[in-house]
Structure 1
Amino acid sequence: MGEGFIFVANSSTIERQKNPGEPRPSRQKSDDDWVARILEIRASDEHHVYARVYWMYWPDELPAGTLEGKKYIQGRQPYHGQNELIASNHMDVINVVSVTAQATVNQWDETNEDEVQQALYWRQAFDVRNMELSSAQPRCKCNRPENPDKQLINCTNSECRKWLHDDCLIHEALMKTYARLGTDKPHKPTRVKAEEPEGGQRPLSPSESGAAQTAQQSIDVKPEDQKTIKLSDVEVAGPSANSESQTLTVATGTETKRKGRPRKSEVSEVVNTKPYEGLFTAVINDTSTPVVEIQDLRESVTGGEKSWTEPLRCLLCNADIH
């Protein structure tokens, strides 16, 4: 068995083996098994074979006090996908009898916008020495990373072409609806004016100012200097191992600061400020020309339409998305 990724048994695996009648989890993803990257294999004889590994963390295993950029986090974040792992430099020596199967784990290159994550994958690295988690590629106006399990919409303006979160687009549409109608004004459709004759005034096209280019970052985890290690009677170890664990260096990218005025309120608005809740809801109707379909939930308001569509506009350049 050469260098690669493996599933490693733990107490949950043993319990599962005691109940063979229960359905086995998919080998594409198993929350019960640990996942590790093999660095090298050594044997004193055919009965004593050991592997030196780096542990791959599930996002849920990120400990309290993990530093991501300038904030402290713990556990799974909203952008982490179901099949996502986090590379680490948490090293252990394990007995190969604890290996249950080979695992397929891909490194996700976030600059490749056409790449689809079907197997297990990783894009971030966790340094156990200083509790730092490398940054993921920011997207949209809110600068939050992409969750590959959720849809993104690409701005069709050739000078922008930024990827936008569904929930950010919906939030913006509902905020505009609330600002226009509040709690008591009915929605009345805008009458379509007849086309102006030649020489008449025409509406101006929206401003299409380009968005700032977002710095990109790649992450790679490689074993450092390979050293011959003295193998002791180490049987089974895991991500929660104690002081017997060793650590090696992990190569991580550094977070790139965005230039310009800080935008402290953008994320908090998306997360916390939702005055439209209970009054309006919206979904994106992803047809040939995507639109936002808005529903009016206000029972006390009469005299207007209760459902209508609005154009889908880019949050960065304000161009209509086609």
Structure 2
Amino acid sequence: MGVGVMLADAGTVGEEHFVPGDFVYINNESIPHGTELTSVDESKFWIARILEIKASDEFHVYLRIYWMYRPGDLKGGKQWHHGANEVVNSNHMDVVDAMTVIGKAQVGHWLEMDDDEELPMLYWRQIYDYMSKTVGEVRRHCRCDRYYNPDRKMYGCGNPACGKWLHEECLIEEVKKRVMERGGGPPPRTEYKMDVDITEGGGGLVKVAPKRKGGGTGVGVGLTVPALRTAAVPEMPKKNTHIAAGAVHAKNGKRKTKKEILAELEKIQVTFVDGKKVMAHVRDIRGVSATVGNKNHEHEHAEYKIQEWDETVDCLACGTTLE
């Protein structure tokens, strides 16, 4: 420490008072000196944590700091698990003039230990080692063993022996694969009741309202059939599918390419409905067909334009139905 330079317990710039341990916004050369924090997007400023304050007089105050990094400033850039308000702590030390401080920054340390923890305005969970140019690990989740982006949904398994947190996108992918593996249509446990609206000319629009055992109904399915008073929809014939192996066999026995499989998966739309149980609302727009019979045992062809239904969602690790 140079002659005449004192270690201070606190510092003040304008009306802003700060102490070691505080996080602060630092101005940079791209922003005119004297710019107020409220007049510019906060992401334009640099962020630092104060280690100590030194001063020779009230006009010469300096801060020893550790820089905080935006994920996009690191090698490799922002990753999919980085949240919109996430920053990265570091051991990159520097000394700056206190006059470059714009104001305090509210930054919290997210430990990922409390599942109900509310995140502050800005948060960090990783440390960037400036010497080795490496970033520390974070907690892994789900069957995919990947990280958690707090801006996206995750669902927790209620089984005490499991307790795993699962990415919404992984659960959606599993529901889509399950639909393809059974050849389309709702699960076998789903029951149907069909009411037929007779129209002139012998044709009618049938609204199928699936009703699950134990209560609850899905969304109606529209299909065109000749005029029938009652009808029963048989279980869809199962195709020889094996999604996990990366290939699907059609009725002609030919393998479907990865491109064809992905194209089919895109036509199976899944959204989640939160309630007493986590339900997946499935909308299958691929276009499948089945044969139905009337009371005279005559068979007619019915073409399904769109299929929609709700089904339960299971834990990817233990198979427990998610509540």
Query: Alignment partner of 1:277: what SS?
Result: helix
Q: Match for 1:289 among 267, 277, 292?
A: 277
Corresponding position: 1:32 with 2:44: yes
**Deviation of residue 285 (structure 1)?**
1.0
The residue aligned with 1:11 is 29
* SS of residue matched to 2:32: helix
Does the C-alpha gap of structure 1 residues 98 and 12 become closer, same or farther in structure 2, counting only changes over 3 Å?
A: same
Distance apart, 1:299 and its partner CA: 4.2
The separation in 1 between residues aligned to 2:86 and 2:172, in whole angstroms, is 26
Q: Return the alpha-carbon distance in structure 2 between the equivalents of residues 142 and 16 of structure 1.
A: 48
Partner letter of residue 272 of structure 2?
I
1:49–1:291 Cα change, 3 Å? same
> Does 1:315 pair with 2:305?
no
Whichever residue aligns with residue 58 of structure 2, its letter is: E
Please state if 1:298 is matched with 2:286: yes
| Mapping 1:115-154, distance limit 5 Å | 115-154=117-156
Which has the larger strand fraction?
Answer: 2
- Structure 2 partner of 1:155: 157
Q: 1:79 aligns with which of 72, 78, 81?
A: 81
Q: What TM-score do the two structures reach when normalised by structure 1?
A: 0.64
Report matched runs for 1:253-268 at 5 Å.
Answer: none
Alignment partners' CA distance in 1, 2:126 and 2:276 = 35
The 1-side partners of 2:163 and 2:187 are apart by 31
Deviations 1:36-65 (A, max 9, x none): 0001111122221110100000111112xx
1:192 and 1:80 map into 2 onto residues whose CA distance is 40
Within the candidate set 46, 51, 54, 2:66 is matched to 54
Paired AA for residue 61 in structure 2: V
| Residues 15 and 297 (structure 1), Cα distance of their counterparts in 2 relative to 1, 3 Å cut | farther
Residue segments in structure 1 that go unaligned for 5+ positions in a row: 64-73, 194-264, 266-271
Letter in 2 for 1:7: Y
Shift of 1:192: 5.9
After alignment, is 278-287 or 123-132 more displaced?
278-287
Q: Give the superposition deviation at 1:13.
A: 2.9
Q: CA deviation at 1:321?
A: 1.1
Q: Is the 8 A contact 1:175 1:274 kept in 2?
A: no
In the alignment, structure 2 segments of 5+ residues that lack a partner are: 1-17, 192-243, 245-258, 290-302
Name the structure 1 match of 2:216: none
Match of 1:245 in 2: none
Q: For residues 269-301 of structure 1, what are the alpha-carbon distances to aligned partners after superposition, in whole Å with 9 as ceiling and x for unaligned?
A: xxx984543321101111221111111122465
What corresponds to 2:294 in structure 1?
none
Asked if the contact 1:8/1:36 (under 8 Å) is kept, the reply is yes
Query: Corresponding residue for 2:19?
Result: 2
CA contact (8 A) 1:187 1:305 kept: no
Total equivalences in the alignment = 225
CA–CA distance in structure 2, aligned partners of residues 303 and 189 of structure 1 = 16
SS in 1 for 2:170: helix
Inter-partner Cα distance in structure 2 for 1:90 and 1:188: 56
1:112 aligns with 2:109: no
**Residues in 1 aligned to 2:70 and 2:190: alpha-carbon distance in whole angstroms:** 54
Relative to structure 1, is the Cα distance of residues 189 and 92 closer, same or farther in structure 2, using a 3 angstrom cutoff? closer
Over 3 Å counting, the alpha-carbon distance change for 1:172 and 1:113 in structure 2 is same
Percent identity (aligned): 34
Helix, strand or coil for the counterpart of 1:147?
coil
Partner of 2:266: 278
TM-score (norm 2): 0.64
- SS of structure 1 residue aligned to 2:175: helix
1:230-281 CA distance string (max 9 Å, x none) = xxxxxxxxxxxxxxxxxxxxxxxxxxxxxxxxxxx9xxxxxx9845433211
Q: Equivalent residue of 2:92, what SS?
A: strand
Describe the shift of the 1:319–1:46 C-alpha distance in structure 2 as closer, same or farther (beyond 3 A).
Answer: same
* 1:57-97 deviation line (CA, Å, top 9, x unaligned): 0111112xxxxxxxxxx111111111111001111110011
